[in-house]
């Protein structure tokens, strides 16, 4: 009796003549719902930085109908950069967020489907030609013939609220990218490894003074890099020291440094602060399926972007711990799209 009443209500709601038609309608709608949740794509690009969008441009022009999922940081690290002066094609420079918007528009002009969403799980198939299963935001499933991983690497910061507030306002994680803007000015750099030492000597050629802040009582950098730093006259090293506060309203004006042993605090006027304590590749969801090095960077084969899984390719900073530049990321994005196109051609 209750079931009959419920069916009559549904029949009246959908304006259907009988129960059979109602069942067909419900089945059709359910099938459509399942189809929307499970989608097949020829080329899935995970990540939307220079590597991801360049891969999308090339993949779209090759009729691979790429789908890009932007991830949690649409546009990648460049969206936190105010000015980009070292990317070819912009003689007057360009703001990082605007550059990424233009790359997205260029990719979309060729038919790329750019979607806001975060890949939460992957099941990669080791058999050539088989589909890879990808879950988006925990509730949508995609089946991809090829995958281009362009999830990048996130710079490690100190975690100070005053530091986070001034990222893009004098706080940077890339001396090569932003050092030029501090020509003939005093800057500081945090870190004691090879990267910090290399960036300190790079900055010393541009800036009037570079203060290196090292938490330990020695540098972790190689002896060769230490010699380079010690021989550079305008680099001052503060051992056993840490930054406790970055000072400035809208831009960096100074830092407050504390000596770990004496607990004496010192205010150092600077206009730029560079953090060189490492990067973390965004590869956690691929761990156990794709070959990585000890730091979590994806290992690619030879001069290609191929991974150990057929049909899965890696581009950008997620597989590059050496250069980490927008232009090199874009180059590997191009390579990944070409590798994906050739792979599909062999199936």
> 265 and 171, same structural domain?
yes
Q: Are residues 56 and 147 in the same domain?
A: yes
Say if 30 falls within a structural domain.
Answer: no
246 and 264 both lie in a single domain = yes
CATH of the domain at 222: 3.50.50.60
Domain housing 232: 157-275
How many domains is the chain partitioned into structurally? 2
Integer Cα distance of 331 and 58 in angstroms: 11
In-domain check, residue 194: yes
20 falls within a domain? no
Question: Among the options 43, 113, 137, 174, which is catalytic?
Answer: 174
Q: Are residues 161 and 270 in the same domain?
A: yes
- By the 10 Å C-beta count (0-12 exposed, 13-18 middle, 19+ buried), 162 is classed as middle
The residue annotated as part of the active site, out of 43, 113, 177, 317, is 177
CA dihedral 308, 309, 310, 316 (to 10 degrees): -80
Q: Is the dihedral of CA 51, 92, 171, 192 positive or negative?
A: positive
Q: For residue 65, which phi and psi values (nearest 5 degrees)?
A: 50, 55
| 334 carries an active-site annotation | no
Active site residue 174: yes
pLDDT at 5: 54
Name the catalytic one among 43, 178, 207, 317: 178
Average pLDDT per 10 consecutive residues for the chain, totaling 347 residues: 51 57 63 64 95 97 96 75 82 89 95 95 95 93 96 90 92 88 96 90 95 94 91 96 95 96 95 92 94 96 96 96 90 98 95
Query: Given the DSSP bridges, would you call strands 153-155 and 265-269 parallel, antiparallel or unpaired?
Result: unpaired
CA atoms of 91 and 114, how far apart (whole Å): 28
The region, left, alpha or beta by phi > 0 then psi within -120 to 50, assigned to residue 129 is left
Q: What is the pLDDT of residue 15?
A: 54
Check the CA dihedral 158-164-167-171 and report its sign. negative
**Same-domain pairing of 100 and 133:** yes
Judge if 114 and 199 occupy the same domain.
no
User: Is 212 a domain residue?
Assistant: yes
- Which of 275, 298, 318 is a domain's end point? 275
Cβ proximity of 149 and 55 under 8 Å:
no
- Residue 128 and residue 161 in one domain: no
Residue 104, helix vs strand vs coil: helix
In a domain? residue 114: yes
């Amino acid at each position: 009796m209750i079931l009959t009443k419920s069916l009559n209500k549904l029949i009246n709601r959908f304006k259907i003549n009988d129960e059979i038609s109602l069942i067909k309608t419900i089945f059709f709608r359910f099938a459509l719902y399942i189809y929307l949740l499970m989608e097949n794509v020829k080329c899935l690009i995970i990540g939307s930085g220079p590597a991801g969008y360049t891969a999308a441009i090339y993949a779209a022009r090759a009729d691979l109908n790429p789908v890009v999922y932007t991830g949690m940081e649409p546009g990648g690290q460049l969206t936190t950069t105010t000015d980009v002066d070292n990317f070819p094609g912009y003689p007057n420079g360009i703001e990082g967020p605007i550059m990424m918007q233009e790359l997205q528009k260029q990719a979309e002009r060729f038919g790329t489907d750019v979607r806001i969403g975060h890949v939460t799980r992957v099941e990669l198939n080791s058999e050539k030609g088989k589909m890879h299963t990808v879950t988006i935001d925990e509730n949508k499933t995609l089946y991809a013939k090829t995958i281009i991983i362009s999830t990048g690497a996130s710079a490690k910061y100190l975690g100070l609220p005053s530091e986070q507030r001034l990222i893009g306002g004098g706080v940077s994680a890339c001396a090569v990218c932003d050092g030029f803007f501090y020509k003939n000015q005093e800057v500081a750099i945090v870190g004691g490894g090879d990267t910090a030492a290399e960036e300190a000597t790079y900055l010393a050629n541009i800036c009037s003074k570079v203060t290196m802040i090292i938490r330990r009582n020695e540098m972790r950098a190689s002896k060769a890099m230490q010699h380079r730093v010690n021989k550079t006259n305008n680099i001052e090293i503060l051992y056993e020291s840490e930054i406790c506060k970055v000072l400035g309203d809208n831009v960096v004006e100074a830092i407050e440094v504390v000596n770990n042993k004496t607990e004496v605090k010192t205010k150092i006027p600077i206009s730029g602060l560079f953090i060189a304590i490492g990067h973390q590749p965004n590869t956690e969801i691929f761990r156990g399926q794709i070959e990585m090095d000890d730091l979590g960077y994806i290992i690619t084969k030879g001069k290609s972007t191929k991974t150990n899984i057929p049909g899965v390719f890696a581009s950008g900073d997620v597989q590059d711990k050496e250069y980490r530049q927008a232009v090199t990321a874009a180059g590997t994005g191009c390579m990944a799209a070409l590798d994906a196109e050739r792979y599909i051609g062999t199936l």
